[in-house]
Structure 1
Amino acid sequence: MLQHASQSARGNILFVDDEENITRTLERQFKPLGYNVFVANNGVAALHILVNDQIDVVVSDMRMPEMNGANLLKEVALKWPDVGRILLTGFAEVDAAIAAINEGKIDCYLEKPWNENYLESVIKNAVENKHLKDKTKLLQKEVYRQNQELLTLNHSLESTVTARTNELNKTLESLHRNQLATLNVCSNLIENQLPHYRGHAKKVADLARQIALKHKLSQTEASLIYYAGCLYALGKIAIPKQILNTPYRILRGEERNVFHQYPVIGATALLSNEHNDFEWVAEIVLAHREAFNGKGYPHKRAGEDIPIGARILYVAIDYEQLQSGMLLPDKLTNFQAIELIKASKGILYDPKVVDTFCEIIAMLPAESIKTTREKMLPPESLKAGMKLSRALLSSTGMLLLPEGTVLDDRAIHNLVNLKNIVAYIQIED
């Protein structure tokens, strides 16, 4: 059942599932891709493999006897914190996802049946992230070794000390680049889990950083706000897809309460990171939906009690979401989004931040203003001749129809039989 690691392999993956046909299927899928594949049918067997072999990623089923997936991944996080942790389950339960994120500190959460290409992409990113952490640790050891050498040098050897210091600075710069790469890997995982968010977080992060710098914050603060913009949607991987696919303003009751959990889930996941700078990022992520008038969520903070990074991020997120149909059923134009944000000064948004935002937007080139409009419709409201403005995905993230497809009666008939999907239709001017 075990296969020993080879130096040329792409990475070592451990699949854990009490159903042998599942592990056999995964083994057949990933061995030809160049991975070393390990399998276990329970949590105890999986821990034994982790003790004896160098594993890069653990992919575990949630529902297993004796030790479920969340408890197994919690143990992995405690003993092997750098190992990637992915949860597979056929039970789309928010509580299970929250437990896995809080306790198992998982990197990704997928539902059965999985999309093979998507699973391969997620595992590839997780393996690369593990290898990146390994390289970072080696660099940290090298920095420590060089620092110890510097402490023992004779103070009279000034020229030698200067040369060593320059070498150390280069190594620290390399470490910083690796931390940025880690953030990019994490951001890519979010976009793989939430396909309709692809490109969105990067736009939010870029705009938030511009606002921060124009608002006269330091380069360090602006960078941390940028990181928060990249990662603000992390907690949404635990929210059911039918809720995420519904514009926020038309959510009601329990669905809206479930959605309101995502800042807490995301901040909790970030606080599990060992780097101190993520504490500030987590604080921004936790508070980025707190309204200036105190009626936001999750903790109803108000005014300047809300971190400035969160106040900036709120404006940047809504500017992008208003134009993409994430907040309202219809997409707004650039001008409409700006006017709606200005109308909410002092209610949702910090008035000073809105003023700075308007200065930034005024400097954008004219070609950056979007004119494409779309509306979101359930399958039963579709008509022949309508054109998809976005790719149509199933509730599990599988591609059903590509962007630009012109619908006919046959396609609409097939879509009506599916559950929990919506179509984004292009509105002709």
Structure 2
Amino acid sequence: MSTETIPAPCVLLVDDEESILNSLRRLLRGQPYQLLIATSGAQALELFEQHKVDLVLSDARMPGMDGATLLAEVHKRDPQCMNLLLTGYADIATITAAINEGRIYRYLSKPWDDEELLHALRQALMHQHTERERKRLLLLSRKQNDELRQLNTTLEQRVQSRTAELQQTADMLDLAYDELRRSYVTSTEVFSLLINQRLPRNKQTNQQVIALVRAFASHIRLSEGDSHNLNMAAALYNIGKLSWPDALITAPADLLYSKHRDTYRSYPTQSETLLMSLEPLQDAARLIRHHQERWDGNGFPDRVKGDAIPLGSRILKLAVDFVELQCGLVLERQMNHDEALLFIQKYSEKLYDPDLIEDFCLICSQQMPDITVTQTNVRALETRRLEPGMVLARNLHADNGMLLLNEGKVLSKLLIDKLVAFEAIESSRYTLFVRVPEPQPALTE
């Protein structure tokens, strides 16, 4: 019995630097790929016409024809060819052109991580195989339908047999489609790791935001489709910041002024623009566009308010703010777990959907509990509920980050009155974590 040999996938590497091509050739040595090498876009197109190419990995910036133009031309000639962009520049125009015109599958940065690049190649070719198999099964289904119509009038028994085969084919198509959807979710989470490479470790937020929205979606029994879109939005919500300079991408939003504040307010729409050309990500892109809207209508970019904000966007804002408050990406001062929750509760009905707050705080406590609030003698109290003799359990900061009182300070009536007066001057409200004196056991005679 003869078996059909499956040819090795053909991978075309394009870069104008010989050293880069040599590094890629060494990395892929021993991999099950047929390699083609080109040092320019024109040479790459010549090889593309001479060979059946499955995947093109191209540098973004090359003299003559850049990577975006090359991948756009490749897509015109063979839409099934997988395109990956490799660049050492965070050039938003180049990336946008490559996504919109070249339909790139992935974007990789120089210098690359070897394992990540190998994984990207395997995943792209697996995605291509799944799509080809889906189309093959679809053509098979149509062919069998034609045969069924021809036999319908005289062969009832055969019709029943064919119907069973068609059902099996339809089930296989459903499985292939489900696998394709899961592949997109996985791809977005992998892509979120690339976003994190632009950030210091203590300001990498995507994985925490993903975990938080996934737990919250499960808790409120969000539908499977809405959960998929929310997970992808959580993975890619800050992709629009990729072109920012390092100083801006790590700066607290509250300290930005003038042009930088305008740049910050544009990132949800930039993120949406990058993703809208990919059909499976369009619903997630809409959630990202509106995740900085506010419940009272004073958010951005469209100033929508209340229930007009998509539910997924409202959930995403809660998760993003909770995580970024603790990373110092919202205010200059980094908040701890409890302070971030108190901030969210304080601005319910102003920034956040009040109907989501209770469940969200419950999930945050379960996902990232803080042991301080479990101490029986520690309370979170507003200034008007303070009593003399209580001891401050945490430093107290003003809204602008200035230290007002140190941990361990014993509160007196005079000090409490000064805090109340300071609130009135600042038009603000503060919550203090204090240790309440333990009750003394009664003396027995």
Q: TM-score, normalised by structure 1?
A: 0.70
Structure-1 residue corresponding to 2:187: 185
Whether 1:226 and 2:231 are equivalent positions in the alignment is: yes
Kindly report structure 1 stretches of 4+ aligned residues shifted beyond 6 Å.
none
Please give the secondary structure, in 1, of the residue aligned with 2:187: helix
Distance 2:16 2:98 in 1: 18
Structure-2 residue corresponding to 1:268: 273
Structure-2 residue corresponding to 1:303: 306
Asked whether the 8 Å contact 2:265–2:300 carries over to 1, the reply is: yes
Structure-1 residue corresponding to 2:124: 129
Distance 2:298 2:130 in 1: 45
Please give the secondary structure, in 1, of the residue aligned with 2:85: strand
Please give the secondary structure, in 2, of the residue aligned with 1:186: helix
Relative distance call for 1:281 and 1:80 in structure 2 (3 A) is farther
Distance 2:51 2:320 in 1: 43
Q: What is the RMSD of the two structures over their aligned residues, measured on CA atoms?
A: 3.6
Asked whether the 8 Å contact 1:190–1:237 carries over to 2, the reply is: no
Distance 1:119 1:243 in 2: 29
Identity %: 27
Whether 1:369 and 2:369 are equivalent positions in the alignment is: yes
How do residues 146-157 of structure 1 correspond to structure 2 at under 5 angstroms?
Answer: 146=141, 148-150=143-145, 152-153=147-148, 154=152, 156-157=156-157
Relative distance call for 1:86 and 1:209 in structure 2 (3 A) is same
How do residues 24-103 of structure 1 correspond to structure 2 at under 5 angstroms?
Answer: 24-31=22-29, 33=31, 35-103=33-101
Q: Give 1:69's aligned amino acid.
A: G
Distance 1:239 1:81 in 2: 31
Distance 1:82 1:252 in 2: 46
Relative distance call for 1:283 and 1:15 in structure 2 (3 A) is same
Q: Which has the larger radius of gyration?
A: 2
Whether 1:347 and 2:350 are equivalent positions in the alignment is: yes
Relative distance call for 1:193 and 1:8 in structure 2 (3 A) is farther
**Residues 49-69 of structure 1 deviation map (CA, whole Å, 9 limit, x = unaligned):** 233334344333333333222
Structure-1 residue corresponding to 2:419: none
Structure-2 residue corresponding to 1:23: 21
Distance 2:101 2:264 in 1: 20
Relative distance call for 1:260 and 1:56 in structure 2 (3 A) is farther
- What is the CA distance between 1:331 and its match in structure 2? 4.2
- What is the CA distance between 1:108 and its match in structure 2? 4.5
- Structure of higher RCO (CA pairs closer than 8 Å, 6+ residues apart): 1
Structure-2 residue corresponding to 1:294: 297
Relative distance call for 1:221 and 1:19 in structure 2 (3 A) is closer
Structure-1 residue corresponding to 2:288: 285
Structure-2 residue corresponding to 1:172: 174
- What is the CA distance between 1:188 and its match in structure 2? 0.8
Whether 1:246 and 2:246 are equivalent positions in the alignment is: no
Distance 1:238 1:12 in 2: 32
Asked whether the 8 Å contact 1:15–1:60 carries over to 2, the reply is: yes
Gaps of 5+ in 2: 373-445
How do residues 108-123 of structure 1 correspond to structure 2 at under 5 angstroms?
Answer: 108-109=106-107, 112=110, 114-115=111-112, 118=113, 120-123=115-118
Relative distance call for 1:205 and 1:87 in structure 2 (3 A) is same
Gaps of 5+ in 1: 1-5, 373-429
Structure-1 residue corresponding to 2:240: 235
Aligned counterpart in structure 2 of residue 333 of structure 1, from 333, 336, 347: 336
Asked whether the 8 Å contact 1:287–1:310 carries over to 2, the reply is: yes
Q: Give 1:220's aligned amino acid.
A: G
Aligned residues: 358
**Residues 268-315 of structure 1 deviation map (CA, whole Å, 9 limit, x = unaligned):** 33322244xx33222112222222333333333333332222112111
- What is the CA distance between 1:180 and its match in structure 2? 0.2
Please give the secondary structure, in 2, of the residue aligned with 1:246: coil
Distance 1:238 1:331 in 2: 25
Asked whether the 8 Å contact 1:139–1:171 carries over to 2, the reply is: yes
Q: Give 1:321's aligned amino acid.
A: E
Distance 1:34 1:152 in 2: 39
**Residues 252-272 of structure 1 deviation map (CA, whole Å, 9 limit, x = unaligned):** 444444444433333233322
Asked whether the 8 Å contact 2:237–2:271 carries over to 1, the reply is: yes
Q: TM-score, normalised by structure 2?
A: 0.67
**Residues 111-150 of structure 1 deviation map (CA, whole Å, 9 limit, x = unaligned):** 55x14xx155135314422322322331342144235525
Asked whether the 8 Å contact 2:196–2:204 carries over to 1, the reply is: no
Relative distance call for 1:241 and 1:30 in structure 2 (3 A) is farther
- What is the CA distance between 1:30 and its match in structure 2? 3.2
